[in-house]
Amino acid sequence: MKTLAALLALTATVSANPLMDGADPHAMVIGKDYWMFPTEANTREPIFAAYRSPDLREWKREGAILNLNDIPWIKENGAPSHKPWAPSMAEKDGRFYFYYSVGPQSEQHPSRIGVASSDSPTGPFKDSGKPLLTGGNGFEAIDPMVFTDPASKKSYFYAGGSAGSTLRVFEMAEDMVNFTREIKTTTPPHFTEGAFLHLHDGTYYLSYSHGPFNTAAYSVHYATSNSPEGPWKYRGRVLESDASHQGPGHHAFVMNPSNGEWFIIYHRWETAEKKGTYRGNRKIAAERVHYQKDGSIAPIPMTDADSPVSPIK
């Protein structure tokens, strides 16, 4: 009989919506492939893994890239458990920086965000040796996301959610594992967690999740700005529950650089039941994104077997 570790190491492909079990997917383009880094499902080990796709439909699991059990500072707070949640990846000068949440939060043991780096998106990743951000005092340090502004070349760190539902923004140091300053910003309307920043046609789009993650109220909203630092103009809700899928959220926007097509990668509950709270595994899915003439994002319908296909040429 194969061990759990051996089963997790097996290479498998999945296709069409929903793509796979999992949650909180961060997606990006590296070379000529899409890469995804989600909160893992169906694992007893506190790990993160990488997934790769040439076209957004067929995904290959590249294996575990980080295990919380291998990071000494995580256990130093004495919490009874440490959960690996909601990661993101950033690239700078050919090096990859992996940001991840360590929860859950309690009054005695606030949540924390760590960062590890590698020369490859598949690792091995070396942790920085300390938390980058720690929660507490009404702030929950979860859901990191790093965006590098092509105009200024500065990198910005976005985090926060759930307990306190507060957005915090920092400017990253050149080393990508420290902050140079915290930026005074406002928390946009209906913000709960899962901030993601992307740039389209000169406008900065801050999208985020609203509501309890395990209910039908969970949804994706967005605000825009002419700067990655804000202030933010609320633009509305773009992804919400429908007749067959509930609680879509904690997403990433990704663009095919060869044709300019945009997509959203997100998680959802596969049920028609409107009354939460839901339990079990969430599913990851992908949808096309359409921008209207005024720069607004058109409402995004959820699909099933006809998930989008967009190879990078």
pLDDT of res. 276: 85
4 occurs within a structural domain: no
Question: Considering the domain boundaries, does residue 1 fall inside one?
Answer: no
Q: How many domains does the chain have?
A: 1
pLDDT band at 120 (very low <50, low <70, confident <90, very high): very high
What b/e string do you get for 156-173 counting C-beta neighbours within 10 Å, with b at 16 or more?
A: bbbbbbbbbbbbbbbbbe
Give the pLDDT of residue 149. 98
Give the pLDDT mean for 112-133.
Answer: 98
Q: What is the pLDDT of residue 141?
A: 98
- pLDDT tens for 127-153 read 999 999 999 999 999 999 999 999 999
Q: Is residue 168 part of a domain?
A: yes
Which residues, in sequence order, are CB contacts of 235 under 8 Å at separation 6+?
221, 222, 223, 224, 296, 297
Is 256 in a helix, a strand, or coil?
coil
pLDDT digits 0-9 by tens, 165-178: 999 999 999 999 99
| Prior bond of 104 cis (ω within 30°) | yes
Separation between Cα atoms, residue 187 and residue 168, nearest integer Å: 8
Query: Is residue 305 one of the residues assigned to a domain?
Result: no
Structure tokens that stand for 285 in this block: 């899915």
pLDDT given for residue 4 in this prediction: 44
Is residue 12 pLDDT above 60, yes or no? no
Query: Which contiguous run of DSSP H or E holds residue 148?
Result: strand 145-148
Q: Tell me, what's the pLDDT at 306?
A: 85
Decide if pLDDT at 187 tops 60: yes
3 pLDDT exceeds 50?
Answer: no
Domain that holds residue 235: 23-289
What pLDDT shows up at residue 166?
96
The pLDDT value recorded for residue 2 is 42
For residue 94, give the CATH number of its domain. Answer: 2.115.10.20
**Assigned domain for 303 exists:** no
pLDDT of residue 14: 64
Q: Residue 93 above 80 pLDDT?
A: yes
Model pLDDT for residues 259-303, shown as the tens digit of each residue: 999 999 999 999 999 998 999 999 999 999 999 999 999 999 999
Q: Is 310 part of a structural domain of the chain? A: no
Mean pLDDT, range 33-44, rounded to an integer? 96
Is 72 inside any structural domain? yes
User: What is the rounded average pLDDT for all residues in the chain?
Assistant: 95
Question: Rounded to whole angstroms, how far apart are CA atoms 187 and 232?
Answer: 8
Residue 48 corresponds to which tokens in the numbers above? 């993160």
Using the CB atoms, write b or e for 266-276: b if 16+ within 10 Å: bbbbbbeeeeb
Percentage of the chain exceeding pLDDT 70: 96
- Quick check: is 165 in a domain? yes
- Secondary structure (3-state) at 176: coil
